[in-house]
Structure 1
Amino acid sequence: MMKYFSLLLLSCGFTFAQATHPWQQHVDYKINVDFDVKSFQYTGEQTVVYKNNSPDDLNTVFIHLYPNAFQPGSEMDIRLQNNPDPDRRMATGIKEGDKERFESRIAKLQPNEIGLLELADVRCNGQKITVLQKGTLAQLLFSKPIKAGEKVTFKWNFKGQLPVQIRRSGRNNKEGIAISMSQWYPKIAAYDTEGWHANAYIAREFYGEWGNFDVKIAIDKNYTIGGTGILQNPTEIGHGYSTKFKQNVRPDGKLVWHFKAEKVHDFTWAADDKYIHDQAQLDNGTVLHFFYKDNPKILENWKGLQPDAVRVMNFYNQLIGTYPYKQYSIIQGGDGGMEYQMCTLILGEGKYDGLLGVTAHEMGHAWFQGLLASNESKYAWMDEGFTSYIEDLALAELKKNTAVNPFTAAYTAVAKLQTSGKEQALTTHADRFEENRSYSVASYFKGQLFLTQLQYLLGKDQLIKGLKTFFDEFKFKHPTPNDLVRILEKQNNVQLDWFVTDWTQTTNKIDYAVTATSDENGRAEILVTRKGLMPMPQQVLVELKNGTSEYYCIPLREMHGNPKFKGSVQADWPWAQPQYRIKTNVLFADLKRVLLDPDGFVADTDRANDIFVNEK
């Protein structure tokens, strides 16, 4: 999703000893939905073929009913009312003297404005089954378990109501988009080696099973749809999806749009009666679709966006691995930016740099978390942070930014959080952060620095090589952080457990300081001190008054291998030893200054003590 400070509470840590799930459930969806553009209500029939690939017999299945979060008294509503810094899109600030309090927008929704999703006539293999609905979840109870290896067919009817746009899914938002349909259908919850991931929806992240979607949407003939999947009946809808050439209109004035998507874990769509639809093609043949309002204020930006979006996506194809689907849609959805399968919904107005930035970020999600479907709720920093990393590389390439470190904004944000007293470990569940800002900085920026620190340790070429291997081995799976780390360890013959432990499971800080003194022979000695609890190997640059310089590499013993640094390699530094001394052959009188990490890649919370200047 777009970088924006959102919501939430507190949690415990999680270790990464678990390997990638040795099996995955498989879910195929067939959905027929009829949408009323006047009432924003919809009814549907759904067939779900569920393959239990786990070794467990399942006595229950959970189903997400996400739209029910947008009701007064829902868990999302209550969380908004009790959050110290709620998402300003979801809560209204009210000044009371020198203080500000917030009122949940959800709490004020009327019955015809709320979100709603309800199941009816739920059957498994033709037999009616018991359903317990609990807010944004439904639980199916069986008289006979679904055996390990068994395939079953669920069928049910559903009815829903699209809420007034508050967050992500909604109607008639501030940019005038009529319909944004994300997380709109009954969706089977994920089940893996940790059991069911049956989390209530309180405006955070998602996690779903891989499968195939066959979706038919009946909607007013004047509306154009963009979203997940490949349109199966373009000639019935009209040339280039334009309803100007529509055929096969039903007696009720509706057209049926038929989409199919293979090997995806979600299905999203948006519709409007004033969408412009443009297309562009990538080097690998994938077609980019652009859906945006016929609004003179934004036409120039959206036309200019198209060649830049092609360049960005071609860059990602080369950087990480080839996007495998035949289409990707960039859709003006009117609410921030959010990644979905084969598409994104983004804000369409504002300045061009903002439009390009959010587009580059959301397109990066086609890899992280679209194709590498990590559990966003537990590892939000994997999809947000890794996407932010490749986004900054793409924008640097596009704008010809030759800076050694193009990620400086992330360093500033993380250092500020780490010294604020409000940081929580990256292993905190996305729903359990106390404050929105803490969640946002952790997931977007500290997650991004997870990769920049690995780039510092291993070199950019080795990191990118590792990311390519990660993509090749784990696309269409549910990888954990350990999967990438193990690839990098094997590839570079080093150990990185110490790095994962401190960076993700604690709030330990990196802080090193450097000074220099003269020994009894007048030669310079460099003294490096570890002041924070998190260890890092150190690269030291010694500059002389005559304009020459020397580099020193201090390995970390726990890494059991040398970092990819310039300079002479010193003896390794055990973590428990707080200081390290380098004896040089340089006269102290000739010394100009000493710098730790001259390229600025270490996430050191106090850069001021990373430099020593000889004033003598």
Structure 2
Amino acid sequence: MKKLKFSLFSILFSLILSAQQSSYYQQYAKYKMDIDVDADNFTYQGKQTLDYRNNSPDELKVAYFHLYWNAFKAGSMMDQRVQSQGVNADGRLAKRVGNTVVSRLSEIPKSEEGAQNIRWIKQNGKDLKFEIQGTVMKVFLAEAIKPNSSTTFTMEWDANIPMQIRRAGRNNREGVDMTMTQWYPKIAEYDYDGWAAFDYVGREFHAPFSDYEVNIKIDKDYVIGAGGNLENPTEVKGYDSSATIKEDISKKVTWKWTAKNILDFAWAADRDYSVESFPILDGPKVYLVYQKSEKTKYWSEMKPYITKYYQLMNATFGRYKWPSYSFIQGGDGGMEYGMCTMILGEATSLEGLSGLMFHEGAHSWFQQMLATNESVRPWMDEGFTQYAEDFVSYRLFPPKESQPNPFVGALKAYANFAKSGKEEPAVWLGDHHDNGTAYTYASYIKGETFLVELGYIVGEENLSKIMLKYYDEWAMKHPTERDFIHIAQLVSGMDLKWFQHYWINTTKTIDYGIKNVKYDPESTTITLVNKGGVPMPIDFSVLTKDKKVINYNIPLNLTRVWKTKDIYGNIQTLPYWAWTQQEYSFTIPYTKAQLSAMGIDFSQRLADVNPEDNYLEVK
């Protein structure tokens, strides 16, 4: 009897422990910062109080902070990575000198290198020891942070604003004085996988959702654009025509910003900024912060497109949750932050500027609200964002030449790169790709085509339901690919684990073709062949001489459940094609005299690397 009781107790304990381990939690931080900027010397002094709550079941004995600006100097890990990559390095971080590739970071003058110098850090008033490891600060806690408890860090530091090489820095190529991104000591995210204390060597970021109160003291002639709520618009320049600027004895004013439940706080400052704003019905108030000139003339013209953009995004991917969003001229291309983006201001066309704004704005969904760890899973951020950009652009700027869907260009680009032999798996960590172009295709294109292929497998109606349910269940959290696939399987009823594995974890390709067609007096028998490494269900269509299109679906046995309709409407389902089977034959009740054409995937959504043998004109 005792043995039985012990066994029951053991089982119960194991179930409780398992439930605890699998239950979701996320950490919380609250920052209060006072910043004093010396604009003439591109430095600032910082003071910070950080309230941090440990909602995990783990006791934390150390903490990690990011010091991203420490990357912008000669000899840093970012510099070393650029030099080791050589011709494969990011073109924004390297330049060619003759036949040699030179890291731009190696040439930063000492006076213009990035630095975040920690004077001291305390926990609940007690001095802490810390260790600087490049762009990461390891802090040894005086008191372990127990599960479901809070602690308070205070610190002071000074910083040198770096020469702008990548995203942050002084005097960018368009003449913006200060781009202040990833600019403060930021606590790392802690979750089931441990501390996300990644070295910064050029790619992505991750952080806990946090509240911010940031007071920025700066020369009175500056205008600031930021991702947050400006609490004193009547006391500073640019936001209120009735503003009365009250400078202190040093001719500085203090900008007071707040923001709730965002991943970071970013801002930029320039004397020549203009600020325009407009509300969006059932959307955010949008701010455009930029230098007005002939080269930035398209910014004002973007307003009606931005309005339609947010309305489309809200309807398709879930409602934007914050009260405002700022497009700020201040980056070296485009980079997303909480409630704002930093982008280049100069554009040669309205459509070119729209693509940049639409992409960076979509990160509010797939990097901010659905805050995956983009250092680990960049394809879930960049790829889903690229999908949203193409989805909206196709509707707001219809292509001049007819194309069946918004993603034809991405599929062609993927196929060409896959055949180059340079592809690297999308599962790789963002900063650990050996080739900059391979990273782009793995994260942006492979992530985008993941959704395109998913829509092809489950049907577009189901894909729309999946995207909205994903938002409903995981907005303002940190989902993983497992969470997304779980929802996709619930909505579609299909098994989709195989697809995620093939598409994200490998570089195997899709390659189907028509091998043979046999015409009989009353029917036609078609034989297809799978020459690739990724099995897929197949949509097959025939065009009759009287212009009718008949659509068939050949299910893949791996999905276990078949789709019955898609963008074609209802489809005729044929017997399944086992993934181990190389060839597949089927017979249709049409003769050669009745047929005009036939082919795999009339919708052009299948990412077939050799589509030339997918179609046949019947002559």
TM range (shorter): over 0.9
* Partner residue in 1 for 2:32: 30
* Partner residue in 2 for 1:337: 334
Amino acid corresponding to residue 577 of structure 1 in structure 2? Q
Residues 396-405 or 159-168, more deviating: 396-405
How far 1:552 moved relative to its partner? 1.8
Partners of 1:266 and 1:194 lie apart in 2 by 21
Residue 450, structure 1, aligned to residue 450, structure 2: yes
User: Compared with structure 1, are the counterparts of its residues 460 and 547 closer, same or farther at alpha carbon in structure 2 (3 Å cutoff)?
Assistant: closer
| 1:151-300 map, 5 Å | 151-238=150-237, 240-241=239-240, 245-284=243-282, 286-298=284-296, 300=297
In 1, are the aligned partners of 2:34 and 2:216 still within 8 Å (CA)? Answer: yes
Amino acid corresponding to residue 122 of structure 1 in structure 2? I
Larger RCO, structures 1/2 (Cα 8 Å, 6+ apart): 1
Partners of 2:484 and 2:583 lie apart in 1 by 31
Partners of 1:296 and 1:19 lie apart in 2 by 57
Superimposed CA distance per residue, residues 160-192 of structure 1 (whole angstroms, 9 cap, x where no aligned partner)? 111111110011111000110000000001111
| 1:124-139 map, 5 Å | 124-139=123-138
Amino acid corresponding to residue 108 of structure 2 in structure 1? L
Partners of 2:575 and 2:301 lie apart in 1 by 54
* Partner residue in 2 for 1:13: none
SS at match of 1:577: coil
How far 1:323 moved relative to its partner? 1.2
* Partner residue in 1 for 2:97: 94
In 2, are the aligned partners of 1:236 and 1:247 still within 8 Å (CA)? Answer: yes
Residue 612, structure 1, aligned to residue 609, structure 2: no
Residue 323, structure 1, aligned to residue 320, structure 2: yes
* Partner residue in 1 for 2:12: none
SS at match of 1:423: coil
Please, what TM-score do these two structures have when normalized by structure 1? 0.93
Superimposed CA distance per residue, residues 232-265 of structure 1 (whole angstroms, 9 cap, x where no aligned partner)? 11122257256x9442211111110010100111
Amino acid corresponding to residue 88 of structure 1 in structure 2? G
Superimposed CA distance per residue, residues 89-124 of structure 1 (whole angstroms, 9 cap, x where no aligned partner)? 2212122xxxx3211111011121101112122111
In 1, are the aligned partners of 2:179 and 2:330 still within 8 Å (CA)? Answer: yes
Residues 270-279 or 398-407, more deviating: 398-407
In 2, are the aligned partners of 1:216 and 1:256 still within 8 Å (CA)? Answer: yes
Superimposed CA distance per residue, residues 365-412 of structure 1 (whole angstroms, 9 cap, x where no aligned partner)? 111111110000111111111111111121122124574311112112
Unaligned runs of 5+ in 1: 1-17
User: Compared with structure 1, are the counterparts of its residues 61 and 241 closer, same or farther at alpha carbon in structure 2 (3 Å cutoff)?
Assistant: farther
In 1, are the aligned partners of 2:130 and 2:137 still within 8 Å (CA)? Answer: yes
Superimposed CA distance per residue, residues 121-142 of structure 1 (whole angstroms, 9 cap, x where no aligned partner)? 2111111111001110110012
Amino acid corresponding to residue 249 of structure 1 in structure 2? E
Partners of 2:466 and 2:232 lie apart in 1 by 41
Partners of 1:583 and 1:363 lie apart in 2 by 48
Residues 248-257 or 137-146, more deviating: 137-146
In 2, are the aligned partners of 1:71 and 1:77 still within 8 Å (CA)? Answer: yes
User: Compared with structure 1, are the counterparts of its residues 224 and 472 closer, same or farther at alpha carbon in structure 2 (3 Å cutoff)?
Assistant: same
Unaligned runs of 5+ in 2: 1-19
Residues 392-401 or 535-544, more deviating: 392-401
Amino acid corresponding to residue 280 of structure 2 in structure 1? L
* Partner residue in 1 for 2:539: 539
Residue 58, structure 1, aligned to residue 60, structure 2: yes
Partners of 1:265 and 1:229 lie apart in 2 by 11
Partners of 1:604 and 1:19 lie apart in 2 by 41
How far 1:588 moved relative to its partner? 4.2
Partners of 1:104 and 1:357 lie apart in 2 by 29
| 1:452-471 map, 5 Å | 452-471=452-471
Partners of 1:524 and 1:110 lie apart in 2 by 73
In 2, are the aligned partners of 1:20 and 1:480 still within 8 Å (CA)? Answer: no
Please, what TM-score do these two structures have when normalized by structure 2? 0.92
| 1:296-307 map, 5 Å | 296-298=294-296, 300-307=297-304
Residue 364, structure 1, aligned to residue 362, structure 2: yes
Partners of 1:93 and 1:176 lie apart in 2 by 24
Pairwise CA RMSD: 1.9
SS at match of 1:297: helix
How far 1:88 moved relative to its partner? 2.0
| 1:5-154 map, 5 Å | 22-83=24-85, 84-95=87-98, 100-154=99-153
Which residue, out of 537, 547, 569, partners 2:573? 569
Residues 157-166 or 549-558, more deviating: 549-558
